[in-house]
Amino acid sequence: MNKKIYTYFINPLIDKSMKLTNNTYTKQITMILSVFAILVTSAQDIHFTFANAQNTIDNGEYYYEADIMIESTEAFKLGSGQIYLTYNPEAFGTNISKNNRIAYTSESGYILGENYVLPAYRGFVQNDNTDNRISFTFQQGVSAESITKENVTNTAQPLLHVKLKYIDVTKDPMIAFEEGSVFQDQFFTACGSMLKTGTKAGFPDCANLPGVQLINDTYDSSGASLQTLSVEEQDITAASLYPNPAQQYFLIQGLGNIETDIHITDINGKLVQMLPSHPLQNTINISQLQTGVYFVKIDTQNSQKSYKLIKE
């Protein structure tokens, strides 16, 4: 529990107890410390994981994207927080915040994207902590009373989304949570409303009505790994072409980082391009093709699937 919480709960009681006899004072202090211990030990344990990790392409550039998930042993309303990630500089370069190689977003559907007339969270900051570690922080935008539901529960919920730009897509991204003790216990429950202290309703008053510091947080980085299943182990119907229509290149998405034979035929069925054992992490250059409609066939040992491609 942080210093503010200690001051808020303990000091008024100590001041009052000073007026009592020594014996009563001792009993009062014992009771206070017991309450303090309960407040600390009953704090929620939070757990962080990754979900939906994948490589994507945007305007010819490769990106790594994933959701950061949060859950808790007891439901609560989230206040402020800070989280640290490490990464492979061979894949993304160093100091990725300074070099504009990372962005984190919190759209509708993410906890940090919640809105209660005003945004529930604000003050988003990302910083290069070291050459291969970055931190994200956020602050509470509205009071605990304005947040109408306990948004962290025992079911994992998406907290935010991260997107890192590759300098070398062939390298392992090695995205992981930083788990050192100095980086833990950086989250708090939501603080109270200024309405209670006679000022503005709806706005948080974290100085006088602070939240509780969350301790014993744990991390699981396994979900940050990219899928490497073979085509035979995946649903080939889940594949899609991007972008489509395409001008210079396209990418086959939805099958992870695997290799497969690719045939491109024109509308008359003539083979115009063949790529044996093509890594799906690599783009397919079609700049030499004429404008028109083509069919892209994924050919594996057990199945085939064709997709319509429009070349602009």
Condensed to tens digits (0 to 9), the pLDDT of residues 152-170 reads 999 999 999 999 999 987 7
pLDDT mean over 197-212: 76
Confidence at residue 77, expressed as pLDDT on a 0 to 100 scale: 95
Cβ atoms 148, 114 nearer than 8 A: no
Q: Give the residue with greater pLDDT, 24 vs 1.
A: 24
Confidence at residue 251, expressed as pLDDT on a 0 to 100 scale: 84
Predicted structure pTM score: 0.63
Nearest to 114 by CA among 106, 126, 123: 106
pLDDT mean over 141-160: 92
pLDDT grade, residue 176 (50/70/90)? Answer: very high
pLDDT mean over 168-175: 88
pLDDT grade, residue 303 (50/70/90)? Answer: low
Confidence at residue 20, expressed as pLDDT on a 0 to 100 scale: 40
Nearest to 102 by CA among 70, 79, 67, 127: 127
pLDDT at 33 over 90: no
Tell me, letter by letter, the H, E, C secondary structure of 115-137: EECEECEEEEEEEEEECCEEEEE
Between CA 302 and CA 3 the distance in angstroms is: 63
**Which residues pair with residue 198 across a beta bridge?**
none
pLDDT at 283 over 80: yes
Between CA 33 and CA 35 the distance in angstroms is: 5
The token pair at 57 is: 């392409």
CA dist list (Å): 15 to 5, 12, 20, 39, 90: 16, 5, 10, 20, 58
Nearest to 45 by CA among 67, 69, 75, 68: 75
Q: Which of 77-86, 139-148, 227-236 has the lowest mean pLDDT?
A: 227-236
